[in-house]
Amino acid sequence: MTTTAQMILEAAYARSTANDPGKLATDNELLGRLTRSYQGLWALAARQRPDEFATIQAIQFLGATVAFVLPTDLIEVRRLQNAGGATVHLIPAAEITRLWHIPPCVYRTGGTLYSRGKTGDPVAGDILTAWLLLAGAVLNTLSSVLDPAFPTRHVEILINDLALYLDAKDDGRDPEGFRKLAADQSMKLAAFAQEFNLDASALEFVHAPSTRVPAQSAEPQPAG
């Protein structure tokens, strides 16, 4: 199912008859809030299930510095390999002079990947295959669409978040309505954390991953 930003905004307004579209908040204001909330949830889910959220891209090292500028708001570099299929090791920048790292090697400083520059490391013009965890979609228009990898069953979290935001902006609201929304949101966030705390059942590991600790979510508090 395709979910647009407009569908989420309309569902949030429908949470309360007191909501007056365009009065409590502008569309741009709500789109900004929605994008930030969405990208936060996307990053949490992607970190827990990286294989399901990763993107494969070809990247080319360019220029005299033999560097590649990573995408904005990148969550993680998962894997790099060269044209021959060999793993390109991503090593700590503090260890670029250490001899125990076997080439090919690159290191990251800020939002840029650099070649270590030793024999066997990437040179200008080399194309690598990168497995990347990219940021979630920027929802900057009403027609913007959520990434297909984001489960429809958790869209309600985004709707509740906007509804709570609208409620908190209206000083005249009955606090009971906020508490009911907050309770529903806490339940939805707990379900989200529980689901993404579980490994995909068919995924095989050489060594079993360590047990994850479920994320704790604080219950929203009414304004005032």
Token digits of residue 26: 């502008």
- pLDDT at residue 208, rounded to an integer: 53
pLDDT bucket at 62, cuts 50 / 70 / 90: confident
Interval 135-148 mean pLDDT:
95
User: pLDDT exceeding 70 applies to what percent of the chain?
Assistant: 87
pTM higher than 0.75, yes or no? yes
At 69-109, the pLDDT tens digits run 999 999 999 999 999 999 999 999 999 999 899 999 999 99
At 7-43, the pLDDT tens digits run 999 999 998 878 877 788 999 999 999 999 999 999 9
DSSP-H helix ranges across the chain? 5-13, 27-48, 50-53, 155-169, 175-196
∠ CA 48-49-54, nearest 5°, is 120
pLDDT bucket at 202, cuts 50 / 70 / 90: low
Query: How far is the C-alpha of 180 from the C-alpha of 206, rounded, in Å?
Result: 45
Token digits of residue 75: 């969550």
Query: How far is the C-alpha of 180 from the C-alpha of 196, rounded, in Å?
Result: 25
3-state secondary structure of 88: coil
- pLDDT at residue 99, rounded to an integer: 87
Query: How far is the C-alpha of 19 from the C-alpha of 166, rounded, in Å?
Result: 7
pLDDT bucket at 205, cuts 50 / 70 / 90: low
Query: How far is the C-alpha of 55 from the C-alpha of 50, rounded, in Å?
Result: 9
- pLDDT at residue 104, rounded to an integer: 95
Interval 110-133 mean pLDDT:
94
